[in-house]
Amino acid sequence: MADIRLEGVGHSYDGGRTWALKPMTWTWRSGRAYALLGPSGCGKTTLLNIISGLLTPTTGRIWFDDREMTAVPTAGRDIAQVFQFPVLYEEMSVYDNLAFPLRNRKYPKAEVDRRVRQVSGMLGLDDHLRRRSRRLDPGRQQIVSLGRGLVRSGVAAVLLDEPLTVVDPAMKWTLRSTLKEIHRDTGHTFVYVTHDQTEALTFADEVVVVKDGEIVQAGEPTELFLSPAHEFVGHFIGSPGMNVLPAEVSDGVVSVGRAAVGRAVGDLPPGPVRIGIRPEFAVLDSAGSTPGVAGRVTGVDRMGSYDLVHVLVNGHDGPPPAERDGQTGQTGQTGQTGQTRQDGQDRQGGRAGQGGRAGQGGRVGHSLVVKTDAGTRFEPGDAGFVRFAADRAYLFRDAVRCGTVAALNGAPGEPEAHAPEDRVSRSGEA
């Protein structure tokens, strides 16, 4: 096992016109469990293939501790790699498939048998050991591929590229905890590629978030949730993701439209910023005065153990939209989870407001989601006043975090001083 260090490593598939992986310096520390998380096409597989030697980077050098490996082929790197789809010898038995990587490296027969049976036991393959692999369903075949990747001892790292994609959802939970146990038992470095935040957060000691070929933040799951360093991390982690609103810093005060929402902390020149607040840290009252933003409830998703209240705030556009138009909201039932929402409300694919302007029948504002305990009394059309929990709202410029919003000193209505009628859900609090 070794620390795997990428030094200025980048890759272009088109002779340098675009970078699938922008040159980066990064160390995978020996023995840690990493999740590499990002949307489709952000460069995760490219990064994995560079580590394993399947791909030679366009630029940069790779080190395993103090040994340079840039020109060393895959076979010389002692890396185990598991792909998204089964890679095995279909005509061989499950036993022989699991034994193959060991026999290939001349492990003694007794050791081969011991390790095959150990891995088979952990992955629930004992009853299938004598079966030909092609007789298994694709999910089970993938578990055999996983076993082939995990069977060796002393590998430099185990790289898993979305290994549970073809596995039955019911099995996924079990396998995920099995993988965690295997990581604990073997102490190998694991790099687990996924675009699924639940998979990443439940598996990893450290989550590395990639966007457009670069690492935008790496940290423990809680750190990424509580302290996103990039707007993308706020959107991608959390369910729903972070709300983002345009705001302004002036004389150290952060305002959304004309409403002051807090004090800017950070070395921030005045000017436009974007403010990010997770649904868990926004607090909804029926009325209030600054610090906070006035708006109108446009929908309620009743999720069972909590509710999501959608609020159209109009900090940039004067009074709340319904008042301006002399309208109150109309309720539309969307069924299933007991949601109520007004027609036309864009939930942005299940994510919280991402800075987009939400239009409703000619009214324009910004959509926010507030997570509350189950059974909120808010209904579409109600007036809603949203305050931001102190030190849990963040400021961004060019999508990168540049500050935090603190309570306005001594101001009436500071978030933590209030007893809101509809409290923020406790689930996401620090």
Ligand X SMILES: Nc1ncnc2c1ncn2[C@@H]1O[C@H](COP(=O)(O)OP(=O)(O)OP(=O)(O)O)[C@@H](O)[C@H]1O
Could you say whether residue 85 binds ligand X (CB under 6 A)? no
- Among the listed residues 45, 120, 360, 372, the single contact to ligand X using CB under 6 A: 45
For 281, the 3-state DSSP assignment is helix
Which residue, 182 or 209, has its beta carbon nearer to ligand X?
Answer: 209
- Which residues sit opposite 62 in a β-bridge? 6
Question: How far apart are the C-alpha atoms of 251 and 271, rounded to whole Å?
Answer: 10
Could you say whether residue 44 binds ligand X (CB under 6 A)? yes
Which residue, 14 or 66, has its beta carbon nearer to ligand X?
Answer: 14
* CB 233, CB 220: distance < 8 Å: no
- Among the listed residues 40, 305, 333, 336, the single contact to ligand X using CB under 6 A: 40
Using the contact rule CB under 6 A, the part of the chain among 34-42, 122-130, 272-280, 332-340 near ligand X is 34-42
- Among the listed residues 13, 26, 85, 173, the single contact to ligand X using CB under 6 A: 13
Which residue, 81 or 298, has its beta carbon nearer to ligand X?
Answer: 81
How many other C-beta atoms are found inside a 10 Å radius of the C-beta of residue 267? 7
Could you say whether residue 43 binds ligand X (CB under 6 A)? yes
For the window 381-410, what string marks contact with ligand X as x by the rule CB under 6 A?
A: ------------------------------
Question: How far apart are the C-alpha atoms of 351 and 340, rounded to whole Å?
Answer: 17
Using the contact rule CB under 6 A, the part of the chain among 37-45, 282-290, 314-322, 344-352 near ligand X is 37-45
- Shortest separation between residue 201's beta carbon and ligand X, angstroms: 17
- Shortest separation between residue 351's beta carbon and ligand X, angstroms: 18
Could you say whether residue 20 binds ligand X (CB under 6 A)? yes
Question: How far apart are the C-alpha atoms of 86 and 375, rounded to whole Å?
Answer: 46
- Shortest separation between residue 331's beta carbon and ligand X, angstroms: 39
Could you say whether residue 42 binds ligand X (CB under 6 A)? yes
Q: How many residues bind ligand X (CB under 6 A)?
A: 11
List the one residue out of 290, 315, 280 whose CA is nearest residue 413.
290
* CB 32, CB 192: distance < 8 Å: no
List the one residue out of 235, 215, 210, 214 whose CA is nearest residue 225.
235
Question: How far apart are the C-alpha atoms of 117 and 111, rounded to whole Å?
Answer: 10
How many angstroms separate the Cα of 142 from the Cα of each of 136, 158, 211, 301? 9, 15, 28, 37
Using the contact rule CB under 6 A, the part of the chain among 41-49, 111-119, 163-171, 377-385 near ligand X is 41-49
Could you say whether residue 38 binds ligand X (CB under 6 A)? yes
Map the footprint of ligand X across residues 185-204, applying CB under 6 A.
Answer: 195
Question: How far apart are the C-alpha atoms of 300 and 284, rounded to whole Å?
Answer: 13
List the one residue out of 370, 383, 379 whose CA is nearest residue 424.
370
Using the contact rule CB under 6 A, the part of the chain among 42-50, 66-74, 149-157, 234-242 near ligand X is 42-50
Which residue, 13 or 173, has its beta carbon nearer to ligand X?
Answer: 13
Which residue, 56 or 334, has its beta carbon nearer to ligand X?
Answer: 56
Could you say whether residue 23 binds ligand X (CB under 6 A)? no
Which sign does the torsion angle of CA 360, 363, 368, 371 carry? negative
Using the contact rule CB under 6 A, the part of the chain among 43-51, 93-101, 134-142, 392-400 near ligand X is 43-51
How many angstroms separate the Cα of 24 from the Cα of each of 19, 44, 58, 251, 377? 11, 13, 12, 37, 50
**Interaction site with ligand X (CB under 6 A):** 13, 20, 38, 40-46, 195
